[in-house]
């Protein structure tokens, strides 16, 4: 009798473990804690590949101006129906205040990329467990966005004819923006949907929020995507719906990262 009592718990535990593995969906945080520290040379290779794909894909896509303008006008029409067409009033107010326009132009053109790269490097060095997921989301969102640019070119508000938007970069001669004529000649100007600027800032904000308990940094993390959303609309580089698409894109990227983490966790369990 005593022997039977001693052998029963292992069988029950084994059955419970098998049932738990069978029902595992990859959404349990404790199962996603199994990870290995990222290797710097692998990450550099991934970053180089991602940058090459982004550059080649974004700039090699034929600039179908007439189609892109038609899509842009369609988005503007949809926003009028939804009563979201407040870009023009914001854009004109910013254009009437040069110092505001200059700050937003430079934030859109330069600081956005500097902050993204800086945060990713910080995560790699100080918070590698957060970095791996953030890198996967960044890579996924960029690839999906490139597909969107190719399949559905969209003109930004500043390039819509007779729409009344003011290109603040041209008016105030902002250096470094994709709207700058010298840079525009070498980049796809009809890649407005979705807004990767907003998507990447949201991703970086979420990563900072997850990587620290510092209240000031968490507040900054929450404000970053909001500031970028305002900047892209105010400078007539994106519609509100482009911003919404950028947010949805990041959510999709996180779902992909979760599923990949779940797949790795199941492989480790079976191994």
Is residue 27 in a domain? no
What dihedral angle (degrees, nearest 10) is formed by the CA atoms of 114, 115, 117, 123? 160
Query: φ and ψ at 222, to 5 degrees?
Result: -75, -35
**Helices (H) and strands (E) in the chain — how many of each?**
12, 0
pTM for this one?
A: 0.79
Arithmetic mean of pLDDT over the chain: 80
Is residue 17 in a domain? no
> How many other C-beta atoms are found inside a 10 Å radius of the C-beta of residue 81?
8
pLDDT at residue 114 in the model: 86
User: Of the spans 34-43, 51-60, 102-111, 257-266, which averages the highest pLDDT?
Assistant: 102-111
pLDDT at 49 > cutoff 60: yes
Distance CA 170, CA 87 (A): 18
With a CB cutoff of 8 Å and minimum separation 6, the contacts of 260 are: 136
Is residue 106 in a domain? yes
On whether the CB atoms of residues 122 and 231 are closer than 8 A, the answer is no
Is residue 37 in a domain? no
Number of domains making up the chain: 1
pLDDT at residue 61 in the model: 59
Mean pLDDT value across residues 94-106: 92
Q: What are the structure tokens assigned to 251, written together?
A: 């959510």
Per residue in 230-258, pLDDT tens? 999 999 999 999 999 999 999 999 998 88
Per residue in 133-166, pLDDT tens? 888 899 899 889 988 888 889 999 999 988 899 9
pLDDT at 18 > cutoff 70: no
Is residue 47 in a domain? no
pLDDT at residue 43 in the model: 74
pLDDT at 106 > cutoff 70: yes
pLDDT at 53 > cutoff 90: no
Lowest-pLDDT range, 9-23, 135-149, 166-180? 9-23
Is residue 182 in a domain? yes
pLDDT at residue 8 in the model: 42
Give the domain extent around 241. Answer: 78-270
> How many other C-beta atoms are found inside a 10 Å radius of the C-beta of residue 252?
15
- Percent with pLDDT over 70 in the chain: 75
Is residue 184 in a domain? yes
pLDDT at 25 > cutoff 50: no
Q: Is the dihedral of CA 267, 208, 115, 86 positive or negative?
A: positive
**Alpha carbon of 106 to those of 87, 126, 140, 180, 243: distances in Å?**
19, 28, 26, 12, 19
Mean pLDDT value across residues 25-33: 43
Is residue 62 in a domain? no
């Amino acid at each position: 009798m005593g022997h039977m009592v001693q052998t029963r718990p292992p069988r029950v535990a084994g059955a419970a473990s098998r049932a738990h593995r069978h029902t595992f969906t990859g959404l349990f945080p404790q199962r996603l804690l199994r990870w290995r520290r990222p290797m710097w040379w692998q990450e550099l290779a991934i970053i180089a590949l991602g940058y090459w794909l982004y550059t080649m894909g974004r700039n090699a896509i034929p600039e179908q101006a007439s189609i892109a303008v038609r899509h842009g006008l369609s988005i503007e029409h949809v926003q009028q129906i939804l009563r979201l067409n407040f870009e023009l009033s914001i854009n004109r107010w910013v254009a009437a205040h040069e110092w505001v326009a200059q700050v937003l132009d430079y934030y859109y053109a330069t600081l956005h990329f500097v902050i993204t790269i800086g945060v990713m490097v910080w995560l790699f060095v100080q918070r590698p467990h957060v970095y791996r997921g953030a890198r996967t989301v960044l890579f996924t969102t960029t690839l999906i966005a490139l597909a969107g640019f190719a399949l559905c070119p969209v003109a930004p508000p500043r390039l819509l004819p007779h729409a009344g938007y003011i290109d603040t970069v041209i008016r105030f001669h902002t250096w470094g923006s994709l709207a700058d004529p010298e840079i525009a000649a070498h980049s796809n100007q009809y890649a407005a949907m979705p807004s990767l600027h907003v998507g990447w800032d949201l991703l970086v904000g979420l990563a900072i929020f997850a990587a620290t308990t510092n209240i000031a940094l968490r507040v900054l993390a929450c404000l970053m995507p909001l500031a970028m959303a305002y900047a892209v609309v105010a400078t007539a580089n994106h519609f509100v719906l482009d911003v919404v698409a950028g947010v949805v894109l990041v959510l999709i990227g996180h779902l992909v990262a979760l599923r990949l983490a779940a797949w790795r966790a199941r492989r480790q369990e079976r191994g």
